[in-house]
Amino acid sequence: MAINLKIISLIQLSLRYFIKIIKEIDSDGTKFSYIWSKTNADGTVDTAWNLAHQTSQKSITITNSDIWQRATFDCTAEPLN
């Protein structure tokens, strides 16, 4: 899932998984490991930001300092066994 945002102020991103758009399958954020990644406007990977968010929660807070001009945020959710 890629999210393109223009940040004017503080924002929170949250990933929600749904089955048949009827039931969210990880509403409390404990069934999956969420790995967020950021790509800068010029297409380069923001390694420092990615390392800081590799074991993040289902929701993260993005601030103006996280984005210069434009950024793409991706989230990979992997099931916890």
Instruction: Give percent of the chain with pLDDT exceeding 90.
Output: 16
Does the structure show a pLDDT above 60 at 38? yes
Quote helix, strand, coil % in the chain, to nearest 5: 10, 45, 45
What pTM, to 2 d.p., does this model score? Answer: 0.68
**Residue 49's pLDDT band (cuts 50, 70, 90):** very high
> What is the Cα–Cα distance from 65 to 68, expressed in whole angstroms?
7
Q: What's the pLDDT at 4? A: 47
Which amino acid is present at 75?
C
Q: Which domain holds residue 70?
A: 2-79
**Residue 33's pLDDT band (cuts 50, 70, 90):** confident
Domain count across the chain: 1
